[in-house]
Structure 1
């Protein structure tokens, strides 16, 4: 069971909740985002930006609530560069210390309370809004770069549009997104391709529309980033 909605006060962020069935791991595709998470088993966690798919294993009945922060916003909320968290799942207390412990104390396990997940989501949302405000908001460069790359703009053209050279853009992207602009562009292109394929677009057409050289190129990229070829990914 999975639900999500747009967050209020953090542009582009998404609040989500789920109850795990257990069994096979869930394949979480890379997306350039950082997540602030609450688990009924593990407590408060941070999921850093992944370069490849993360296989998440949950206990049967484990409850999750998360705030997915859009590319470039997480560092301002969490107070650490994104590349410090790349490919990691970290207890929030390791980053925030006492502040995380105090937040955890306010998040008792909702159990079967139908409003419990909503209260936890509201707490995650409120702390993110407060920390983002205290930080002066996300770096405005992040939204510009992510938007251009998500639209399929080449990295060189994106760098020129934001007034940076290639090396300077890479240096700025590492702490904002967790990796350089080329990796972010590959991940966002795969996301576009998967969305098209899940909407019923044939894979050959997906490859052309998403900017791959051909369907074989699409298959190689999806296999490298998602861990499985497109047909298997879509079947799951």
Structure 2
């Protein structure tokens, strides 16, 4: 497998990426709070991968995928993010020009540029503030007070923007940071401490709940002890 990412200097866009497979392969996609628009070169399929609440398991056929990844809360497709949650939905199910865009991608020398032009992100300062707060706390009351919303209003706005309520958003963002730290080689006990888990066992339970596997299997390395 060949996978590459390119950062993009546009608000709300995390990156563009491509993945090529020479043969069929199984894969595990774990929650990171992001949503992607993905085009399959060989089939011409253009679809949206919504924000996930648990690992997505599947088998990919040989070929190339090209994707545009939105930062959490920035996807702008005209439908609430919770309608896309845990989904893999063809774009033409809710966007009239879905088939036309797929044809343009097939003819494009640089399909990433087509995706960037066709899918600008939605940047809302209040939603950005909610995300920043959820990086640090899962307290609905604390976040609601900080942004000046009632708790029910906050939940509605969060579901529409992120696909999650504030508590789940906090869990997913913390899990994503923990996995990144572990993959970078930090000892698992240090990861648990730095990300505010009670202990390494608490981190292990969260990884099992959100990724459906162990941190060792997810990172491909044995846990250091110091």
**Same fold, TM exceeding 0.5?**
yes
Q: CA deviation at 1:198?
A: 1.2
User: Which structure features the higher share of helix residues?
Assistant: 1
Aligned to 2:61: 59
Q: TM-score, normalised by structure 1?
A: 0.86
Q: 1:121 aligns with which of 112, 117, 136?
A: 112
Q: 2:160 aligns with which of 175, 181, 194?
A: 175
Structure 2 gaps, min length 5? 222-226
Cα pair 1:7 1:125 within 8 Å, conserved:
no
Cα pair 2:82 2:159 within 8 Å, conserved:
yes
Q: Structure 2 CA distance, aligned partners of 1:81 and 1:179?
A: 11
Question: Is 1:164 aligned with 2:149?
Answer: yes
Q: 1:153 aligns with which of 115, 132, 137?
A: 137
Q: Structure 1 CA distance, aligned partners of 2:105 and 2:95?
A: 16
> What SS class does the counterpart of residue 60 from structure 2 fall into?
coil
Q: CA deviation at 1:209?
A: 0.6
Q: Alpha carbons of 1:146 and 1:56: their partners in 2 closer, same or farther (altered >3 Å)? A: farther
Deviations 1:153-172 (A, max 9, x none): 34333222111233321121
**Aligned CA-pair RMSD:** 1.8
Cα pair 2:158 2:166 within 8 Å, conserved:
yes
Aligned to 1:49: 51
Q: Structure 1 CA distance, aligned partners of 2:194 and 2:166?
A: 20
Q: TM-score, normalised by structure 2?
A: 0.89
Q: Structure 2 CA distance, aligned partners of 1:59 and 1:197?
A: 29
Aligned to 2:70: 69
Aligned to 1:113: none
Aligned to 1:209: 194
Aligned to 1:92: 91
Runs of at least 4 residues of structure 1 off by over 6 A? Answer: none
Deviations 1:36-55 (A, max 9, x none): 11012251111111101112
> What SS class does the counterpart of residue 213 from structure 1 fall into?
coil
Q: Structure 2 CA distance, aligned partners of 1:109 and 1:233?
A: 37
Q: Structure 2 CA distance, aligned partners of 1:123 and 1:214?
A: 45
Q: Structure 1 CA distance, aligned partners of 2:25 and 2:13?
A: 30
Question: Is 1:199 aligned with 2:201?
Answer: no
User: How many pairs does the alignment contain?
Assistant: 218
Structure 1 gaps, min length 5? 111-115
